């Protein structure tokens, strides 16, 4: 997963220097074939006083999962 930012929707866009933010490498990792991620803002609460971001992405897990395509939740 990568990220870019801009002051307006039309750009110009700047690429994040810490790329990739999330990857499925190395290839022996149990999570493989990750798809695109959606970023979801979390409301501020006791656990996240400043509000945080969650990421949701589809992935395929290596091995013998009954349903190998599932959703993963990551906290950013």
Residue 12 has pLDDT above 90, yes or no: yes
Give 56-68 as a 3 state SS string: EEEEEECCCCCCC
Instruction: Tell me the torsion sign for CA atoms 9, 6, 22, 40.
Output: negative
pLDDT in the model for residue 29: 64
Q: Tell me the whole-structure pTM to 2 decimals.
A: 0.42
If we measure between CA atoms, which residue out of 7, 29, 8, 4 comes closest to residue 18?
4
pLDDT in the model for residue 64: 52
pLDDT digits (tens, 9 = 90+) for 16-59: 777 666 666 666 666 666 667 777 777 777 766 777 777 777 77
**Domain ranges across the chain:** 4-75
**DSSP string of 32-60?**
ES---EEEEEPPP-SS-TT--EEEEEEEE
> Any idea which residue has 């074939």 for tokens?
33
């Amino acid at each position: 997963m990568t990220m870019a930012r801009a002051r307006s929707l039309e750009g110009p866009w700047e690429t994040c220097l810490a790329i990739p933010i999330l990857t499925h490498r190395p290839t022996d990792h149990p999570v493989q074939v990750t798809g695109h991620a959606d970023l979801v803002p979390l409301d501020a609460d006791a656990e996240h006083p400043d509000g945080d971001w969650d990421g949701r992405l589809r992935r395929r897990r290596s091995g013998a999962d009954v349903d190998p395509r599932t959703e993963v939740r990551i906290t950013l």
